[in-house]
C-alpha cells in the first residue's frame, strides 16, 4: 500500500530483495519476471464438487446406526448365580515407558502397574454394573442411587433402561477389564485404595 492510500500489485518477483527494490522503484502493475499458468485444479473446488457428489444421507444413517449400537451396549456378562463379597484393587499397566521430562531417563518401564485409586485414596466412588434387560437389576441400581446419588451406573445391555429415567452409561471393554467384573449385578464402593465389591444374584432368578 502506497502513502497515497492506494494498493498496487507486484507480479512475478523471484526474491524478496528484488520485490523490495521494485517497490522502491515504483514498478507497479506490471510483470517483472516470467510467470506460468497454474495447471493444477483448485483443490477447494475439487473438494466442493466431490462433496456434492456424495450422498450425505448415507453417512448420516451410518453415524446414527453406530451411535445406536454404542448406546445399546456390547458387553456380554452372565447373571450372578450366588452372593459373593470381596475386595478388589484396580490396577492399570503403563502402555509405554514413562520418562523424566528433563533428562529422559526411564522412571517407570512399560508394563508398570499403577493403582488408579491412589490419585484419590480418600474418594467415595461407587458404581454398579447391571444388565438393563433385567427390571430387577434396574430397580436395584435405583435403590443404590437413592442412598448414594452419585453412584455411577454402567450397563452391559440397554434394555428397559431406555425408558427407566435412570442416568447410565454403556460398559466398554476397557472398563470391564479395569474392574475385573465377571457377572451382573455387581456393586463397587471405594474403601481407600481398593473397592469393596458385592456380587449378588437377582431375586428374579432365584
pLDDT tens per residue across span 151-205: 999 999 999 999 999 999 999 999 999 999 999 999 999 999 999 999 999 998 8
Proportion of the chain above pLDDT 70, given as a percent: 86
pLDDT at 111 over 70: yes
> What pLDDT, on the 0 to 100 scale, is given for residue 180?
96
Cell of 128: 454398579
pLDDT at 121 over 60: yes
pTM (whole model) above 0.75? no
From CA 194, how far away is CA 188, in angstroms rounded?
A: 9
Q: Cβ-count burial of 149 within 10 angstroms (0-12 exposed, 13-18 middle, 19+ buried)?
A: exposed
Whether domain 84-205 has CATH 3.40.30: the reply is: yes
Averaged pLDDT for residues 2-12: 68
> What pLDDT, on the 0 to 100 scale, is given for residue 1?
56
pLDDT at 10 over 90: no
Closest-CA residue to 125 (of 114, 117, 136, 133): 117
The residues spanned by each domain of the chain are 1-36, 43-72, 84-205
> What pLDDT, on the 0 to 100 scale, is given for residue 197?
98
> What pLDDT, on the 0 to 100 scale, is given for residue 13?
59
Element (H, E) at 198: strand 194-199
> What pLDDT, on the 0 to 100 scale, is given for residue 7?
73
Which of the pair, 91 or 53, is modelled with greater confidence?
A: 91
From CA 168, how far away is CA 174, in angstroms rounded?
A: 17
**Hey, how many other C-beta atoms are within 10 angstroms of the C-beta on 156?**
24
Cell of 178: 479395569
pLDDT at 126 over 90: yes
Amino acid at each position: 500500500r502506497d502513502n497515497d492510500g492506494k494498493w498496487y500489485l507486484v507480479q512475478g518477483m523471484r526474491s524478496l530483495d528484488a520485490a523490495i527494490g521494485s517497490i522502491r522503484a515504483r514498478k507497479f502493475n506490471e510483470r517483472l519476471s516470467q510467470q506460468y499458468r497454474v495447471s493444477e485444479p483448485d483443490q477447494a473446488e475439487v473438494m466442493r464438487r466431490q462433496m456434492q457428489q456424495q450422498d450425505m444421507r448415507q453417512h448420516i444413517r451410518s453415524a446414527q446406526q453406530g451411535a445406536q449400537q454404542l448406546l445399546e451396549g456390547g458387553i456380554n456378562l452372565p447373571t450372578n448365580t450366588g452372593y459373593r463379597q470381596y475386595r478388589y484393587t484396580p490396577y492399570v499397566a503403563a502402555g509405554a515407558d514413562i520418562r523424566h521430562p528433563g533428562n529422559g531417563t526411564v522412571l517407570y518401564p512399560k508394563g508398570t502397574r499403577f493403582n488408579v485409586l491412589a490419585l484419590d485414596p480418600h474418594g467415595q466412588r461407587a458404581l454398579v454394573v447391571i444388565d438393563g434387560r433385567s427390571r430387577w437389576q434396574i430397580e436395584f441400581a435405583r435403590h443404590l442411587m437413592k442412598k448414594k446419588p452419585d453412584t455411577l451406573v454402567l450397563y452391559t445391555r440397554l434394555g428397559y433402561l431406555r425408558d427407566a429415567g435412570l442416568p447410565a452409561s454403556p460398559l466398554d471393554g476397557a472398563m470391564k477389564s479395569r474392574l475385573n467384573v465377571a457377572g451382573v449385578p455387581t456393586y463397587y464402593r471405594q474403601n481407600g485404595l481398593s473397592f469393596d465389591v458385592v456380587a449378588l444374584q437377582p431375586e428374579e432368578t432365584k
